[in-house]
């Protein structure tokens, strides 16, 4: 291993455009504009951390001021200007960190300094890193100079928060959006660096580093640096050791947890999770990986092993593909929503580990899992990788019980389980439901049902209605609670994309319109119009004849 004192992120920082990875279009555009002498007043580089914003800013500064010109830009033997810019001590290239100099006075000093031409180079260049940190007054002070600077003056801005920069500033710059580095490209780059450093690192460990870095070259190099420093006596940094160092765990463990959740094996689920936690895996990392796994279960038929961003190996990919055949998409969507909610609430508790255990328990109680034919044959156990000795108890009544999370939460917290039904008559239709609302004086609920409910189906303990954005936001929860109170049974209220029947009010309106049309064809109405031309028929009432 090379004992150079520089960290890898600095040691292998690109010095010319050819050294950049993943930003070919940006590099080509800038090179062509310099060759054509069509330079913008200001460059604006934006993107996530570690993709080359500040690095490209320095390369642009060197390209503009190199004594050898853009065609022969210094790479190894640096000219005076390139050497000074590389070491951040060029008199005409000023680098400013907007995070520490945010005020209007700092910008005014910079503008004052810009009035004097370059001393030893063609252009005077101001590189402002994290430019979004400048104050509103500082941006305003910069606007005029930015729009019409002297010919010798160029601005180069870098930011990770493009939305925080005033549009008046962005419009005065030539903007370049730097993309995340593709996984395969970053993997090849990391492999070259590993070989140069004579590091004994397996390909699987490098793939894990690429995954964790999320497309950031600097993050990837920092992780590799950390991994190489942990090695002793030429020991190989393999996947298992890398997972331990970086706080990540084997995806096969997560797949096993998922299978056991589907089976409702609470004891084994918690046992495996505690082993993962003991490895030093943070709860947020666990939940994010769980979300990633849910995504693969949902979309595995449209993915290839290469497109999973090195997250899965061959066996894990095949396991997910087999298990996904038995899981209904609605279950996966339900799990996804519940996981997102848990992730957002994780910081509310002091012991996040306990939250994860409760989260896993909740998944097992939300729903078992929905089988395509509503049952499992003994011969189907192989698809889940289970032995025949393992008993699977799936109650058909629990299948397809995909509960709205808010319903489940409120049913448990707001209603006691042993409640005698208050409404003695059965509720097997929408009319009977309205009758229950009337008897129990639930005026608001009755109004919502009559006006905004488009019924798709009404079955035993299950009501499906079309999605309607006019529905009260608490309608589903309130109706579930009242049905439980009236019948002492749990009801599933689902919103569907299927177009349901007209609402009761819509039917009444439709019926009224038809009666009006019929009435307008009668002789009585025609005679009225002959005598009163401005008359209008607004309502029709059916007269009940005596028996």
The fold of 183-246 is Helicase, Ruva Protein; domain 3 (1.10.8)
Alpha carbon of 113 to those of 97, 126, 284, 344, 503: distances in Å? 16, 10, 48, 48, 72
Are 219 and 49 spatial neighbours (Cβ–Cβ below 8 Å)? yes
* Dist. CA 396–CA 376, nearest whole Å: 10
Mean pLDDT, rounded, of the chain: 81
Provide the strand spans (E) within 310-367.
none
Q: Which residues, other chains included, contact 403 with Cβ-Cβ below 8 Å and sequence gap of 6+?
A: 334, 366, 367, 492
Which is nearest to 207 in space by CA: 195, 189, 225? Answer: 189
Q: Residue 21 pLDDT > 50, yes or no?
A: yes
Specify the domain boundaries for CATH 3.30.300 within the chain. 405-496
How confident is the model over 202-221, as pLDDT tens digits? 888 898 898 888 889 999 99
Tokens describing residue 464 = 């499906």
Which is nearest to 12 in space by CA: 249, 174, 205, 224? Answer: 224
In a 10 Å sphere around its CB, with 0-12 CB exposed, 13-18 middle and 19+ buried, how is residue 350 labelled? exposed
* Dist. CA 404–CA 418, nearest whole Å: 22
Specify the domain boundaries for CATH 1.10.8.60 within the chain. 183-246
Cα 232 to chain centroid, rounded: 39
Mean pLDDT of 500-516: 86
* Dist. CA 60–CA 26, nearest whole Å: 11
Return the SS3 of 526.
helix
Q: Which residues, other chains included, contact 246 with Cβ-Cβ below 8 Å and sequence gap of 6+?
A: 208, 209, 212, 223, 226, 227
Q: Residue 376 pLDDT > 50, yes or no?
A: no
Across 45-59, 275-289, 354-368, 410-424, least confident range: 410-424
DSSP lists the bridge partners of residue 465 as: 455, 495
Secondary element (H or E) of residue 213? helix 203-213
Rg (CA), the chain: 34
DSSP lists the bridge partners of residue 45 as: 158, 176
The fold of 251-384 is Zinc Finger, Delta Prime; domain 3 (1.20.272)
Tokens describing residue 483 = 């049905």
* Dist. CA 483–CA 494, nearest whole Å: 14
DSSP lists the bridge partners of residue 202 as: none
How confident is the model over 226-276, as pLDDT tens digits? 888 887 777 888 888 888 888 777 778 888 899 888 888 889 999 999 988
* Dist. CA 316–CA 296, nearest whole Å: 11
Alpha carbon of 471 to those of 375, 396, 399, 497: distances in Å? 35, 32, 28, 14
What pLDDT does residue 240 have?
A: 82
More confident residue, 491 or 303: 491
More confident residue, 405 or 422: 422
Residue 201 gets which letter from DSSP?
Answer: B
Q: Residue 383 pLDDT > 70, yes or no?
A: no
Which is nearest to 85 in space by CA: 108, 107, 56? Answer: 56
* Dist. CA 450–CA 504, nearest whole Å: 5
The DSSP line for 21-62 is -S-HHHHHHHHHHHHTT---SEEEEE-STTSSHHHHHHHHHH
CATH architecture of the domain 23-177 equals 3-Layer(aba) Sandwich (3.40)
What pLDDT does residue 412 have?
A: 46
| φ, ψ dihedrals at 459, nearest 5° | -125, 180
DSSP lists the bridge partners of residue 157 as: 44, 128
Mean pLDDT of 431-437: 88
Secondary element (H or E) of residue 156? strand 153-159
What pLDDT does residue 100 have?
A: 81
Specify the domain boundaries for CATH 3.40.50.300 within the chain. 23-177
Strand order in the sheet with 124-129: 93-97, 124-129, 153-159, 42-46, 174-177
Return the SS3 of 495.
strand
Domain covering 405-496 in this structure, CATH number:
3.30.300
pLDDT confidence tier of residue 404, bands split at 50, 70 and 90: very low
């Amino acid at each position: 291993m090379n004992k150079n004192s520089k960290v890898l992120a600095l040691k292998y920082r690109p010095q010319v455009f050819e050294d950049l990875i993943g930003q070919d279009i940006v590099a080509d555009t800038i090179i062509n504009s310099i060759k054509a002498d069509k330079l913008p007043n200001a460059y604006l580089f934006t993107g996530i951390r570690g993709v080359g914003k500040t690095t490209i800013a320095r390369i642009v500064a060197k390209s503009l001021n190199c004594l050898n010109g853009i065609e022969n830009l210094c790479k190894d033997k640096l000219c005076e200007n390139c050497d000074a810019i590389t070491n951040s001590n060029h008199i005409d290239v000023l680098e400013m960190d907007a995070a520490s100099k945010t005020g209007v006075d700092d910008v005014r000093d910079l503008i004052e300094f810009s009035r004097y031409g370059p001393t030893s180079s063609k252009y005077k260049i101001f590189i402002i890193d994290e430019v979004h940190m400048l104050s509103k007054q500082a941006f305003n002070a910069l606007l005029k100079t930015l729009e019409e600077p002297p010919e010798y003056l160029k601005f180069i801005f870098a930011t990770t928060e493009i939305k925080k920069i005033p549009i008046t500033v962005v419009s005065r710059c030539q903007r370049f959006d730097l993309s995340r580095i593709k996984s395969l490209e970053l993997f090849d780059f990391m492999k070259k660096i590993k070989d140069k450093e004579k590091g004994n690192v397996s390909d699987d460990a490098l793939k894990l580093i690429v995954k964790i870095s999320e497309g950031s070259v600097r993050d990837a190099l920092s992780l590799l640096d950390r991994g190489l420093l942990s090695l002793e006596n030429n020991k190989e940094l393999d996947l298992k050791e890398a997972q331990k160092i970086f706080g990540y765990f084997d995806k096969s463990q997560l797949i096993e947890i998922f299978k056991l959740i589907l089976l409702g094996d609470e004891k084994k689920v918690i046992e495996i999770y505690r082993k993962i936690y003991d490895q030093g895996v943070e709860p947020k990392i666990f939940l994010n990986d769980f979300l990633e796994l849910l995504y693969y279960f949902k979309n595995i038929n449209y993915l290839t092993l290469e497109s999973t961003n090195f997250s899965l190996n061959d066996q894990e990919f095949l396991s997910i593909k087999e298990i996904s055949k038995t899981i209904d998409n609605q279950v996966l969507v339900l799990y996804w929503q519940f996981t997102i909610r848990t992730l957002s609430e994780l910081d509310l508790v002091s012991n996040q580990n306990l939250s994860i255990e409760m989260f896993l328990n909740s998944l097992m109680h939300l729903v078992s899992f929905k089988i395509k034919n509503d049952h499992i044959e003994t011969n189907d156990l192989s698809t889940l990788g289970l032995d025949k000795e393992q008993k699977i108890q799936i109650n058909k009544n629990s299948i397809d019980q995909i509960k709205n999370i808010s319903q489940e939460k409120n049913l448990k917290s707001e209603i006691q389980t042993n409640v005698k039904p208050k409404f003695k008559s059965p509720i097997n239709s929408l009319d009977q439901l309205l009758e229950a609302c009337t008897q129990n004086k639930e005026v608001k609920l009755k109004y919502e049902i009559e006006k905004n409910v488009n019924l798709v189906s009404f079955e035993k303990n299950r009501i499906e209605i079309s999605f309607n954005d006019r529905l009260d936001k608490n309608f589903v929860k309130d109706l579930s609670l009242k049905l439980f109170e009236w019948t002492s049974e749990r009801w599933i209220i689902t919103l569907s994309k299927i177009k349901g029947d007209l609402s009761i009010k819509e039917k009444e309106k439709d019926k009224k319109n038809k009666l009006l049309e019929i009435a307008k064809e009668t002789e009585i109405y025609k005679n009225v119009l002959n005598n009163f031309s401005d008359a209008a028929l607004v309502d029709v009432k059916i007269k009940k004849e005596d028996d």
